[in-house]
């Protein structure tokens, strides 16, 4: 009996150990496998569009008709979205319904019914909606093999912005030198050539006052509830095919939180569905499949339609009032996906991150083994008494 109990306990211990899925880092798996969700754009007009406005709208619809090059689609009458009375009220109030407007919406998977940006149909607005210099720079860096690009959205306070930029550059360089690619754990996963996959991070500064980046900034500030109310520098780690991990704001931008974000994107991928991981896709005018030089994981598989990903936000005031030296009250991110991969200090030091679903599965397995062991023990004891 003692021998059986020891074996049962040993299996419990084995099953309770963290399980690493494969040696493919998250950022590389995301780049090759995670198709970005589509944004929606609509036009509001009370009268027929003018020739010029119709030409601009047609340029958007034609661009959106090539989904491989842009994760954008036209919001038509068959849209399942709830109508946005707030937008219509604002449009009527500001223009009396006389000036046509564009309205941009987050992907349905983001579970946000309200529009993220709206404005007149102008050439500059159309260009800023579809693309921007910062997004082109970010895409080039990711396609060149960088693990993530940390976008610093400036607050307008030059001193605070510069201090944040210095901290970010220093910690990103430190993360590059200390983090390592995941070790070999699965013989069925293709070997990853470390010459082609490397840990590298960079920073992209974006001004809130730059007209060409206005819609991109709105996209970032609306990615989580409460961000627009925070008047402080913000950092958004972007990886994969233009996916924002989460937001860091104010005093929440410090060595610990920066290293955590780096460890998340550079850690071993559990190869889960995209929306089981934190973040939200951003709008990029990139044909990712055509631009990736080599698919190290093999030919891409058909995209899996993801389910909704709900985002939860903590109190923005908490992020502002955090002390860098107080780990118990420090806000790592203003908002993180409901099923975010959370890492401990030990995991961060090792560059490892685990999906919460893996933990749930392990807990269930351990419980089942414990119940089985208890049942066998009771059966043996009952047999002994009858004998």
pLDDT in tens, 356-385: 444 444 445 545 655 565 554 455 444 544
- Domain coordinates in residue numbering, the chain: 2-15+361-386, 16-36+132-360, 39-130
159-189 pLDDT, tens digit per residue, is 999 999 999 999 999 999 999 887 654 545 4
Buried b (16+ CB within 10 A) or exposed e, 249-277: bbbbbbebbbbbbbbbbbbbbbebebbbb
DSSP-H helix ranges across the chain: 2-16, 26-33, 51-64, 85-95, 123-130, 133-143, 158-178, 214-221, 255-266, 288-291, 316-321, 345-350, 356-386
User: Most confidently modeled of 24-33, 126-135, 357-366?
Assistant: 126-135
Mean pLDDT, to the nearest integer, of 100-123? 90
Which residues make Cβ contacts (< 8 Å) with residue 321, sequence separation at least 6? 251
Q: Which residue has the tokens 């961000």?
A: 227
What distance in Å separates the CA atoms of residue 316 and residue 250, rounded to the nearest whole number?
Answer: 10
What distance in Å separates the CA atoms of residue 198 and residue 253, rounded to the nearest whole number?
Answer: 24
Least Cα distance to 262 among 150, 124, 158, 183 occurs for 150
Classify 143 in phi/psi space as left (phi over 0), alpha (psi -120 to 50) or beta: alpha
Measured at the CA of 343, the angle between CA 246 and CA 253, to 5 degrees, comes to 45
333-347 pLDDT, tens digit per residue, is 333 333 333 233 333
Give the relative orientation of helices 51-64 and 123-130 as an angle to the nearest 10 degrees: 10
**What global pTM score does this model have?**
0.71
Q: Which helix (H) or strand (E) holds 107?
A: none
Query: What is the CB neighbour count within 10 angstroms for residue 7?
Result: 11
Q: Which residue has the tokens 């070790």?
A: 183
Tell me, what's the pLDDT at 300? 56
Tell me, what's the pLDDT at 197? 79
What distance in Å separates the CA atoms of residue 190 and residue 176, rounded to the nearest whole number?
Answer: 24
């Amino acid at each position: 009996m003692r021998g059986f109990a020891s074996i049962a306990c040993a299996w419990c211990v084995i099953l309770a150990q963290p399980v690493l899925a494969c040696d493919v880092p998250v950022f590389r798996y995301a780049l090759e496998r995670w198709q970005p969700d589509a944004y929606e754009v609509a036009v509001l007009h009370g009268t027929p569009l003018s020739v010029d406005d119709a030409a601009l709208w047609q340029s958007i619809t034609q661009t959106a008709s090539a989904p491989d090059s842009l994760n954008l689609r036209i919001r038509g009458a068959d849209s399942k979205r709830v109508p946005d009375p707030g937008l219509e009220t604002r449009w009527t109030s500001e223009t009396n319904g006389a000036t046509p407007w564009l309205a941009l919406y987050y992907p349905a998977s983001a579970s946000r019914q309200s529009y993220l940006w709206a404005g007149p149909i102008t050439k500059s607005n159309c260009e800023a909606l579809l693309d921007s210099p910062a997004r082109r720079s970010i895409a080039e860096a990711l396609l060149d093999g960088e693990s993530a690009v940390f976008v610093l959205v400036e607050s307008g306070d030059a001193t605070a912005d510069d201090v944040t930029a210095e901290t970010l550059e220093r910690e990103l360089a430190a993360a590059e030198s200390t983090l390592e690619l995941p070790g070999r754990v699965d013989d069925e996963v293709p070997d990853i050539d470390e010459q082609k996959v490397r840990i590298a991070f960079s920073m992209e500064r974006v001004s809130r006052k730059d007209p060409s980046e206005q819609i991109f900034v709105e996209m970032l500030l609306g990615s989580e509830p409460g961000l627009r109310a925070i008047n402080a520098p913000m950092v958004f780690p972007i990886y994969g095919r233009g996916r924002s991990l989460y937001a860091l704001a104010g005093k929440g931008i410090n060595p610990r939180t920066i290293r955590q974000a780096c460890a998340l994107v550079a850690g071993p991928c559990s190869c889960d569905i995209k929306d089981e991981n934190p973040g939200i896709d951003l709008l990029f005018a990139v044909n990712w499949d055509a631009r990736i030089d080599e698919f190290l994981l093999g030919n891409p598989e058909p995209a899996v339609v993801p389910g909704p990903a709900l985002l939860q936000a903590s109190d923005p005031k908490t992020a502002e009032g955090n002390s860098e030296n107080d780990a118990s009250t420090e806000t790592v991110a203003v908002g993180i996906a409901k099923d975010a991969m959370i890492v401990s200090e030990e995991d961060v030091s090792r560059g490892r991150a685990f999906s919460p679903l893996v933990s749930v599965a392990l807990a269930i397995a351990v419980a089942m083994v414990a119940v089985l062991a208890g049942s066998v023990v009771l059966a043996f004891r009952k047999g002994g008494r009858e004998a």
